[in-house]
Amino acid sequence: MSVAEPRRIVLFRHAKADWPQVTDHERPLAERGRTDAAVAGRKLADTGIPIDLALCSTATRTRETWKLAVHELPHRPKTVYEERVYEASPGELITVLNETPDDVQNLVLIGHNPGVQGLAEVLSGSAEPEARERMSRRGFPAAAFAVVSFDGSWKSLEPGAATLLDYWAPSD
C-alpha cells in the first residue's frame, strides 16, 4: 500500500451514555445511545470508506457504541481496544495514531469528548466548507463523527496536516 494515497480517519464519539451508579469508565449506553450508535454505523457505511482498523477506547460506552455500529458496515475491520484513548487529549490521540502501521489506509477511532472534537479541530488545517460549518454549528454531540484525510505516513500525522472531508451527527 502506497503512502502516496490519502489516508482517512473517522473520528467517532461514543453514543449517549447512561448515568448509573458505576465508575465513569463503566458507564453503559442509554437507550437513545443504542439507537443512535446503529444509525451512526449506517451513516458510516454510507460514506463508502473501507475501514481497515478500529481503535476503540476501553470504556464500556465506546465498546458498546462500536459493537452496534460495526454491524452496519459491509465488513468488520480489525478492532484494537486501546486504554490510552480513554480521557485522551488531542495530542495524546495523535501519539496513538502515529503508531498505526502503514499498511492501514483507513481507520476509525471511537473515543470521548473533548478529545475527539479537539482532535478533529487540531488536525483539520483545511476543510470542506459545508463540513466545517456543520461541525461548528453542531459541536460534537454523542454519536457524531468527522472524516479527515491526510497524505503521508501515520508517523507524519500532526496538527494541521489533514482536511476535514465530512461530518455527521444524529439529527443531521
C-alpha–C-alpha distance, residues 152 and 50, integer Å: 18
Is 0.85 surpassed by the pTM of this model? yes
3-state secondary structure the chain: CCCCCCEEEEEEECCCECCCCCCHHHCCECHHHHHHHHHHHHHHHHCCCCCCEEEECCCHHHHHHHHHHHCCCCCCCEEEECHHHCCCCHHHHHHHHHCCCCCCCEEEEEECCCHHHHHHHHHEEEECHHHHHHHHHHCCCCCCEEEEEECCCHHHCCCCCEEEEEEECCCC
Flag whether pLDDT at 86 surpasses 90.
yes
Q: Which residue has the higher pLDDT, 35 or 4?
A: 35
pLDDT at residue 7 greater than cutoff 70: yes
Mean pLDDT rounded to a whole number for the chain: 96
pLDDT computed for residue 2 by the predictor: 46
Q: What is the pLDDT of residue 157?
A: 97
Give the β-pairing of 7-13 and 106-111: parallel
pLDDT band at 1 (very low <50, low <70, confident <90, very high): very low
The band of 172, judged by pLDDT with boundaries at 50, 70 and 90, is: low
Q: What is the pLDDT of residues 91-122, one digit of tens each?
A: 999 999 999 999 999 999 999 999 999 999 99
Contacts of 35 (CB under 8 A, 6+ apart): none
Q: Give which of 68, 36, 35 is closest to 54, Cα–Cα.
A: 68
